[in-house]
Structure 1
Amino acid sequence: MPLLKCSPRGRVLSILSLAAVLWAGSGAASEQCPPDSRHWPFDEAGGQGGFAHVQLQRGEAVLADDPLQPGNRVARLTAGPKKKGKVGKADYVHRFEPLPAGSVILMQARIYFPPGIPLNSVILMDLECASCGLETNPGIRLYLRRGLLRVDRSKVGIKQPFLPTVPRVMTAGVWHELSWQVTLGAGEDGRSLVTLDGEVISDARGTTMLTQEIVSRHMDVTVREQADRFQIGLTANSNPQAAEMLLDDVRFCQL
């Protein structure tokens, strides 16, 4: 069978087409919230950082100076150790209009851990529902386990977390750029994409929200399948010692 030949122009178009396909396959990793999205830079925002709510449980949230960039103001969050079964908390809360299955949500932030702080058993972001019909505020959570980022889904009835596929760890003493893009959905319709410093470290499909089907397995309760609350900071510290972090340039948007 003779080989197909193409002109130089055809070869260029083929290369461009291939590049477009590759870019489309990885395009989600390069998504950014638009300039007019919700943005919290912590410059002149007071103790609540411009957020409507702050959640504290043996914790503190204040504005502080950036240790690496003089003149830049950031949020400093401190959460106490876990005591008598209760975790320490220090995080900001953003409520938004309920979003249903199929919605794509992007959450971004710059995060800094001071040296000596445990980079384990701390939850950094929650995407959950406060008005679904359950008091547990079901949702999924992005957390650190030995410096690696993973997504816990136990509050929506899924035991298996989304594990990192690239062994890139967060380290103390440097600013990290963290991005979490979530497509709300059940089964293969759900997706979680985690990017650290511009590198995709986890891209998984699976249930990312509370569903009636899962709830009906355990109780006779009607729930709403949606998300309406974003939390960021130290949303839970399960360590036997206090945790601390700095936070800057938080963004939230629907894509």
Structure 2
Amino acid sequence: MTGNGITFVDQVTPDFVKSLETLAIRKTYTPDATLFMDGEKATQLFLIASGQIKLTKTTNDGKELTLQIFGAGELVGVSGLFEQELTYTSTGTMLLAGEVWIIPRQGLEKMLIKNGQFCVEFLRWMGLMNRRMQSKFRDLLLNGKIGAFYSTLIRMTNTYGKPHPNGILIDLSLTNRDLAQFLGLTRESVNRMLSDLKKQGVVDLLPHGHILIKNLAFLKEAIFCDDCPPDFCQM
């Protein structure tokens, strides 16, 4: 995966991954290809071998929100297990072309029933994902627009950050519209906030939509950051 994010594959044992491989159908997708739609019956899971998948949700008023962007090593499309009528809770599309392992949900459920160790690993990973999501929603709800924006930048450094001579490079190509969709804000609002941070020397805007965080401490102090473990503080 791009950056420092700890992925599903990092969380489970190699034996678990090998067992998933026996269930999987490998398929290569082009950018913008749809893997699953919000509300569809959830019969498959998707393990990313390469490329990136974007999860989005459309609100009742037609606004598209970006929930997460996942890279290689991540498992997506999990809305639950061991229920008859599960549906996807978001839409998954390819952001960058790559290979995906398509895993039947029933096959995974049977594998977990047979292997208690795999079941423990999977539940541990689901717990981590839930804590990440709760932490993200807490920040978005409690910190206001500017705080939510700062929190998102902090999470991006933990998930996609790479060391740079002048700070931390968010190694993800993002337009201001992309950033706005993470926050449910307008592009104009994000433009203003980025411009203010650049004037203060907190960030720099690099070619190809990359953001350089030059003063991470400023962002953390502004929102009274709890310094949660990086495993939790991710996108």
Q: TM-score range by the shorter chain?
A: under 0.3
Q: Looking at secondary structure, tell me which structure has more helix per residue.
A: 2
TM-score (norm 2): 0.25
Q: Looking at secondary structure, tell me which structure has more strand per residue.
A: 1
> Bigger radius of gyration, 1 or 2?
1
